[in-house]
Amino acid sequence: MRKIHNLNGVWDFEFLFKKNWNEVDFSTVSYPEKISVPGCFDAVAKYENKRGTGIYRTFVDCGNTVKLELEATGIRGEVRWDGKQIALLNQPYTPQTLIFNAGSPGKHELVVATDNFVFSGDDSVFSPFYDFYPFGGIYRNVTLTELPEQFIDRVEVLPQNTETGEVLVRVETSKEIASVDFLFDTSKAPLSCSVKDGKGELRCCVPDFKIWSTETPFLHTLKAMTGDDELTVTFGIRTIECKEGKILLNGKALKLIGWNRHESHPAFGAAVPEFLTYTDLQLIKEQGSNFIRGCHYKQSKNMLDLCDRMGLLVWEESLGWGNREAQLANENFRKFQCEQTAAMVRSSINHPCVIMWGFLNECASDTQAGHECIEQLCKTIRALDPSRPITFASNRQQADICLDLVDIISINTYPGWYDYLHDDESEGLERIVPKIKELEEFVSKPEYINKPFIVAELGAAAIIGDHSGVQWSEEYQADLLEIAVKYILESPRASGIALWQFCNAKTYNRIFAVIDRPRGYNNKGAVDEFRRPKLGWKRVADVLKGNVK
């Protein structure tokens, strides 16, 4: 039988200021402090805004074959087991799963070194020009599972048909397993699936199934069993398709109204705890919104589990921001993008809340290198999951040459904000509807008319307490959000909008931050960084509840 060790808790810790992870001499590390896992070391007051490497240590009583799951760590680093390096870490926000022999049963040392340095090379995974902060630490859950000799590695359930309850079950196991039994929560007897070279597949109908939808987010479970191992996964039965310019959930056209949300909080950095995630999602649900774009990286398992249960719809995208042509042409960068995007899809595939995959926010999608890179990413995703539409948020608008590759056209636009620098606020607000109409006309060209269209970002900053009525005031932000949401609700062409953004989020202190990111924050949240609502938050709620005409 497998034995699961939850490794969240207090670990030994040392911070090496200004040292990269690969400059660490592990023989001299003395762990003078303790720190929480999950957590970001640079959200702890002492290390706030400092760059360096955090070295984390814990001990685990285990042995033989184990699976270590690190849900997310800082920018770069390594994992060491009993003093030896067993893996490199270079995919922030991406789950790392390591299966290895832990040695004989007893106490073993686990060390994770993780830094928060960014650099601007063409193959860099997190560049200093990204508009969100590169936190360091072990900022999501850590578990270690002792596996039986023959084990089930993963189980995927892809819903196929909401009338019959048909699903496609895919299983991966260790090599010697010849068959796996499956039991749904509603089954009377198990079904058997044969396995060859560690892979098996079965199409079947879930008995007495119930549909997953935003109003009735019903979840099923599937238990996979073999020899002395078993693994249970949760899934939902729903379909998602794009047809004639619309997005259909369970065959019905959707209007997506919601928010871009960063996993960020002053007290926790990127290690947003489950209770806070729940409060965020509850606010969004209660507002009447139904959609979250998880910008701009893979979302935490806690967040997706909650959205599954609450019936919120998610656009999940892999890490990227404003990547330039030279990066998109760089082989290492492309390899990194494909690897982390594949890891995201494999990790989130069973979540019914995820209704579309994305990547590379605002990249150079007006270039040939962009076309090649996006084509590779689409191929990578479709090979793993043909069931969900693909999109990316473009800011190249009419100059974009990659829209042929995706299922949904998504465009970021900031009318009334970046295009407007006068002191008569009404002029700025007058720009919103014409701008969205201009984009709608563009996506109504014959080659795009059958693809759904989403406004993936639109918003304005507001400083809580500023009631001047001009840019940066709560009133200006509220008016701008109201105009955009009202228009999208009525528009026959647009399938939705992800407003920018749910909460204020920490970004870098550098040139553009001095000009338009006061306090080192992106202040376009409709709630501030502590989740205190601005006027715009309430105004969108009123629009969605029909209280504003």
Using CB under 6 A as the binding rule, whether residue 131 contacts ligand ADA is answered as: yes
The residue among 55 and 458 lying less far from ligand ADA, judged by its C-beta, is 458
The residue among 337 and 412 lying less far from ligand ADA, judged by its C-beta, is 412
The residue among 54 and 269 lying less far from ligand ADA, judged by its C-beta, is 269
Alpha-carbon span 534 to 543, nearest angstrom = 15
Residue 303 Cβ vs ligand ADA, minimum distance, rounded to whole Å: 18
Using CB under 6 A as the binding rule, whether residue 340 contacts ligand ADA is answered as: no
Using CB under 6 A as the binding rule, whether residue 471 contacts ligand ADA is answered as: no
- Cα of 49 vs its chain's centroid, Å: 24
Residue 125 Cβ vs ligand ADA, minimum distance, rounded to whole Å: 16
DSSP state, residue 469: S
Residue 442 Cβ vs ligand ADA, minimum distance, rounded to whole Å: 18
Alpha-carbon span 319 to 342, nearest angstrom = 12
How many residues sit in the footprint of ligand ADA (CB under 6 A)? 9
What is the x/- site pattern for ligand ADA, positions 64-83, by CB under 6 A?
A: --------------------
The residue among 75 and 295 lying less far from ligand ADA, judged by its C-beta, is 295
Residue 526 Cβ vs ligand ADA, minimum distance, rounded to whole Å: 13
Residue 226 Cβ vs ligand ADA, minimum distance, rounded to whole Å: 45
Within 10 A of 277 (CB to CB), how many other CB atoms are there?
21
Beta strands 393-394 and 409-412, pairing class: parallel
The residue among 248 and 513 lying less far from ligand ADA, judged by its C-beta, is 513
Alpha-carbon span 97 to 65, nearest angstrom = 13
Q: Do residues 3 and 228 make contact, with C-beta atoms less than 8 angstroms apart?
A: no
- Kindly report the backbone phi and psi dihedral angles of residue 34, in degrees, each rounded to the nearest multiple of 5, phi listed first: -120, 155
Using CB under 6 A as the binding rule, whether residue 400 contacts ligand ADA is answered as: no
Residue 131 Cβ vs ligand ADA, minimum distance, rounded to whole Å: 3
Tokens of 173: 């196991």
DSSP state, residue 26: G
Question: What stretch of H or E contains 87?
Answer: strand 84-89
Using CB under 6 A as the binding rule, whether residue 528 contacts ligand ADA is answered as: no
Window 439 to 468, contacts with ligand ADA (CB under 6 A): 457
Using CB under 6 A as the binding rule, whether residue 362 contacts ligand ADA is answered as: yes
Closest of 26, 89, 88, 16 to residue 53, by C-alpha:
16
3-state secondary structure of 223: strand
Using CB under 6 A as the binding rule, whether residue 264 contacts ligand ADA is answered as: no
Alpha-carbon span 529 to 523, nearest angstrom = 8
Q: What are the residues binding ligand ADA (CB under 6 A)?
A: 131, 361-362, 395, 412, 457, 500, 522, 524
